[in-house]
Structure 1
Amino acid sequence: MTNAPTPRTILITGAAGGMCRGVNARLAAAGHTVLCADLSRDAAEQAADAVRADGGRAEAFTVDVSDPASIADLTAEVHDRAGEIDVLVNAAGILDRKYLADHDEHSFQRTLDINLTGPFRMIQAFSPELIRRGWGRIINISSIAGVTGYPYPSYSASKAGLSNLTRSLVIDFWGTGVTVNSICPGVVDTPMVIQEVRDQVPRKVPTEQIVDPAEIGGLALFLMSDDARNINGADMLIDGGATRYFQLFDRP
């Protein structure tokens, strides 16, 4: 008989996004407490309410991952209201649909600050408690855009950086009981995905399927499990085989 998983407290940034709604629900359904952090308090409350409506445990928090002061406030509020966390999921991110010629330095840097430096700040803020307790999971939501390249260079560069940050941090967590991995989704069924991309799925994704957000939640659950205790510093692709065949965009 398999023992029930230990209930964990999971902090998710960008928790109000379309992808994370499915992740939140999957994690809460497994008996874990989900701390929904987002830039908008109202959006975070709605995400938490959706979890609670299905019988799960959730709390709402506000954070701007590009602002160190906001992360400091989040850290204090989480510890005050929920105690220490067990799992950190860095999912906050933006996609700036600009080609090279359309970018200026500010717009390029803004994407990096949210998608790459934001997770770095969050890990710095919350990893000491994971290390102190001798167990923890850090899961960065990257993208196949960081594996294959992408027409939008700020997004591609930020996700490539996030995946390599993941690989590099295994040194910092050596022997601590904390693992750090990234999940690299392909085309996910969210409002962010434009119809042009959806239309390409049957001819560019070998499974001919778009990824359900709940599948990403399922992969996160696996990474939290004892069966994944030796998976560390990995990029976990969940893309229907797209990166093994060809890129998702034609040349513009």
Structure 2
Amino acid sequence: MVLVALITGGTSGIGLDVAQRLDLTGLWKVHIIGSNLERGKAAAASLKNTTFHQADVTKYEQQGNTFQKIFNEEKRLDFVFANAGVAEDTVFFSKHETGIPPRPDIAGLTDINLTGAIYTSYLAMHYFRRSPEVTMGKRNLIITSSIGGLYPCMHTPVYSATKHALVGFTRSIGKQLWNEGVKVNAICPGVVITPLITPELKAYFSEKVLITTSDVTNVIFKLISQDDVRDSKGTFVSRDQLHSQAILVSGEKYYCVDIPEYFDEVTQLTHQHMMG
């Protein structure tokens, strides 16, 4: 049986590392999506069972057409990795002497990191539902958030806001999609050495906190393995509860991060109604 994976942002960094690892197993047909044609062709050419599709994740029609093309060919989807993202491209704290300051250039950032990931997730739901019934309970949607989606980041506040949003989104859709046989989880890596980390960003962090794409890929493989997991603080999560999780990746360690505690009965009851 051949499994089918679709990876946005799959031409470099974490996405490419996951594609390479899946490709090596011989068990997967991998489809990587990216906007850079040259880089995408080179990535796919280096792998045996991987196909590149050029698409802009912020354009719903382009993503939709790509999903449709892949599904028409494969007749199933087993794993969708909503991974496309960019780092901060504006200095939010810039000072201006007079008048109305120029509009902050954040549209590209929010469109790729948040809107694009939501489009990917929405399309994944549709095509998971059309996949063979035998795949129910084994389908995986993994969304790339960040350590900046769990903790504030002064250096990249808009990026951090989009990644916080993805954690909330994952926790909000996870229960419903698990009822439909899809496990949804968000990975929240620390500072990963990828093309996204510009020299300017890298300068904020000491070498000892930098992690590799392999550290992240290892956790992703745990999530799609259909096994129970026990994180680095000893928290056990059974396979049937391994959804709606925000998972911090800290080097070779990983942690399932809980939602905030309930401070009183009204808070807990309110949340139950929100999710009921």
Q: TM-score, normalised by structure 1?
A: 0.81
SS in 2 for 1:15: coil
1:85 aligned onto 2:80: no
Is the Cα–Cα contact under 8 Å of residues 99 and 153 in structure 1 kept in the other structure? no
Which residue does the alignment assign to 1:30?
25
Residues 195-240 of structure 1, C-alpha deviations (whole Å, 9 max, x = no match): 46368334xxxxx353221222221111111214321111111123
Structure 2 residue ranges without an equivalent (≥5): 95-100, 229-238, 256-276
The alignment status of 1:234 with 2:245, answered yes or no, reads: yes
Give how far 1:242 is off: 10
Q: Report whether the alignment pairs 1:193 with 2:185.
A: no
Correspondence list, 1:105-144, <5 A: 107-132=105-130, 133=133, 134-135=136-137, 136-144=139-147
Unpaired runs of 5+ residues, structure 1, are 1-5, 203-207, 245-252
**Aligned 8 A contact 2:124 2:141 in 1:** no
RMSD between aligned residues: 2.6
Aligned to 1:210: 210
Identify the residue that residue 150 of structure 2 maps to in structure 1.
147
Query: Bigger CA drift: 159-168 or 89-98?
Result: 89-98
Kindly indicate whether residue 6 of structure 2 is the aligned counterpart of residue 11 of structure 1: yes
Letter in 2 for 1:13: T
Aligned mates of 2:204, 2:110 — CA distance in 1: 28
Query: Matched residues in 2 for 1:46 and 1:67: separation?
Result: 23
Identity %: 25
Name the SS of the counterpart of 1:181 in structure 2.
strand
1:19, 1:189 within 8 Å by CA — same for their partners in 2? Answer: no
Cα distance change, pair 14–149 in 1 and its aligned pair in 2 (3 A):
same
Match of 2:188 in 1: 184
Shift of 1:153: 1.8
Q: CA deviation at 1:192?
A: 2.6
Match of 2:90 in 1: 98
What's the CA shift string for 1:142-174, capped at 9, x where partnerless? 111111111222211111101111111113314
- Displaced runs of 4+ in structure 1, greater than 4 A? 102-106, 241-244
- Residues in 1 aligned to 2:197 and 2:178: alpha-carbon distance in whole angstroms: 37
- Tell me, yes or no, if structure 1 residue 42 matches structure 2 residue 38: yes
| Amino acid in the other structure paired with 2:224 | M
Structure 1 residue aligned with 2:262: none
- Supply the distance in 2 between the matched residues of 1:128 and 1:20 (Cα, whole angstroms): 22
Counterpart in the other structure of 1:205: none
Residues 154, 224 of structure 1: alpha-carbon distance in 2 compared, 3 angstrom cutoff: same
TM-score by length of 2: 0.75
Higher relative CO (CA 8 A, sep ≥ 6), structure 1 or 2? 1
In structure 2, the partner of 1:73 is 65
SS in 2 for 1:227: coil
Conservation of the 8 A alpha-carbon contact between 2:89 and 2:105:
no
Q: Which amino acid aligns with 2:116?
A: G
Q: Does 1:61 align with 2:53?
A: yes
Aligned pair count?
Answer: 230
Contact preservation (8 Å) 1:186, 1:239: yes
Deviation of the 1:243 alpha carbon: 11
For 1:73-112, what per-residue CA distance to the aligned partner results, in whole angstroms no more than 9, with x for missing partners? 1122212333321110011111123232459656223211
Amino acid at match of 1:109: A
CA separation of 1:124 and 1:215: change in aligned 2, threshold 3 A: same
1:64 maps to amino acid: D
How has the CA–CA distance of structure 1 residues 165 and 148 changed in structure 2, closer, same or farther, with 3 Å as cutoff?
same
